[in-house]
Amino acid sequence: MALRLILVRHAKSSWDNPTVDDHDRSLNGRGREAAPRMGAWMAERGHVPDCAAVSTARRAVETWEGLCSAWPTVPQTAFKSSLYHAGPDRMLSVLRLARGTRLLMVGHNPGIGAFATQILRHRPTHEAFTRFPTTAVLVADFDIDSWEDAAFAGAETVDFAVPRDLP
């Protein structure tokens, strides 16, 4: 049985107010536009999750809301403070506790990009993958029966896209 992981870096955030705490920064206009577009792309490609783990940072939550706006239903969601600026080891720990067969995680760079690189057996050839830009989406399959068995270098790339790829 294959389990599907969908990794999303939060959409473009605003730096307009330097007094706002990093955790509380919201999306800017470009980010608010990109998240639903990527959600629609995910739906068109059959990449809608059945559950999600989302960083509690405002920009990650707003990205999640934008993605979901393009789907018929909102998947079961856990908002996790442990994903705020999490590195690959912490993200793997969160993944191993997941339920469902199609899990989406919304996080932050540099951790989510490093995690994406480490979970894959082979990187996608897309030129943007190494940067894992804002609102990037990686879809990867693990040939395992339980998320508890997820490991680095254990997944195969299914799909990867960034907002600039979309019409």
Nearest to 49 by CA among 132, 156, 140: 140
Is 99 annotated as belonging to a binding site?
A: no
Can you list the pairs that 80-86 forms with residues at least 24 positions away whose Cβ atoms lie under 8 Å? Answer: 80/53, 80/54, 80/55, 80/56, 81/55, 81/56, 83/53, 83/54, 83/55, 83/56, 83/107, 83/108, 84/23, 84/55, 84/56, 84/57, 84/60, 84/108, 85/111, 86/55, 86/111, 86/112, 86/115
**Alpha-carbon distances, residue 47 vs 29, 81, 82, 99 (angstroms):** 25, 25, 24, 17
Binding-site residues from annotation for substrate: 59
Binding-site residues from annotation: 59
